[in-house]
Amino acid sequence: MKERYIGLMSGTSLDGIDAVLIEADGDALRVEAALCHPWPSDTARELHALCTPGENEIDRLGVADNLVAREFAAATQALLAKAGLGPADIRAIGSHGQTIRHRPHLNFTLQIGNAALLAALTGIDVISDFRTMDMALGGQGAPLVPAFHQALFAKPDALRVVLNLGGIANISVLPGHSDGVYGFDTGPANTLLDGWYRRHHPQGGDYDAGGNWATSGTLVPELLAKLLAHPYFAAPWPKSTGREMFTLEWLDGELASDAYAPVDVQRTLQALTCHSIARQLPALDKAHGQAELFACGGGAHNLPLLAELAALLPRWRLASTAELGLAPDWVEGAAFAWLAARFIHRQPGNLPAVTGASRPAVLGALYPA
């Protein structure tokens, strides 16, 4: 039976709320409408601040929880208006919320965005809190999208990897048979690039559009080697990480007293993203012919970054998920709409081989409108 779901996603880059409306029929889906709702600048600043431990966190968190819900509701209403639909046309909203902390080594993750308020404001049932059941079962709670990637993008007897370039980069390895799927966070993608850009670019702005500033810099090999020595990159999977691990404060410590030009650091951070991804992939293609990598997320528009990654992976064919029928900007939003449908029909949403959970589980909690 065909049903409509809305997926709401804001990632670690805080570059906007992705709102995606899908029509689902089992695991088959079609995107009917999508948009990116910008964060108000003052809300974005507060969310960035909350991602780092600070003063009076509980009160600030409570206020931000409601602010996030109101912006998610505004994104939903704008999406419904764009599609010419009303609340009664939507079976449920799948709301990822905004991650404020992700500390899997402490069995703890926190996404805010008051789901009860979101349901009240939209008049639509809300499914949220997708990560905690997986963590209750001993998993990392992330990444959750490989199950969605498997359902939509896997091709029998072919090796495909889906690479999401958000604040953190993650890969889904789809070997062409359902029992071999796995995935993990490879490390930082845009989180350090965006943070360094905001701090140092003379013209200001939130991110390095098209990677233009990084391209104008010079790679610093000794700095790249130092950054790649972080133990996370060599850790075995299952593994997941967040901006709490790869912070500007960590970067400052690695830079120490070395006086590198800010633009050269930006260029080296681009290389860090590419090398930390490429290190995970060469062994995967030995048993195949040409393996395929499909990029999604905001970083899929960073052509210099993709070109550098392609140079590191000469045996791989790189493309966008648009080639598979889903625009790169809407993959994660569609994934959480799909996860909402899985919850409604009491179907598992996690892959234990990915997260490390002890068993598959229905993910999420329901907040009726």
- 281: pLDDT confidence band, cut at 50, 70 and 90? confident
- Of 133, 109, 95, nearest in space to 5 by CA: 95
What pLDDT, on a 0 to 100 scale, did the predictor assign at position 48? 83
The C-alpha atoms of residue 39 and residue 62 are separated, in whole angstroms, by 18
What pLDDT, on a 0 to 100 scale, did the predictor assign at position 315? 85
The larger pLDDT score, comparing residue 291 to residue 214, is at 214
What is residue 31's three-state secondary structure? strand
The per-residue pLDDT for range 255-265, each reduced to its tens digit, is: 987 789 999 99
Q: Identify the helix (H) or strand (E) that includes residue 47.
A: helix 41-50
Q: Looking at the predicted structure, is the pLDDT value of residue 285 above 60?
A: no
Q: Looking at the predicted structure, is the pLDDT value of residue 154 above 60?
A: yes
The per-residue pLDDT for range 307-357, each reduced to its tens digit, is: 999 999 988 899 999 999 999 999 999 999 999 999 999 999 999 989 999
Structure tokens at 143: 């990444």
- 144: pLDDT confidence band, cut at 50, 70 and 90? very high
The per-residue pLDDT for range 15-32, each reduced to its tens digit, is: 889 999 999 987 788 999
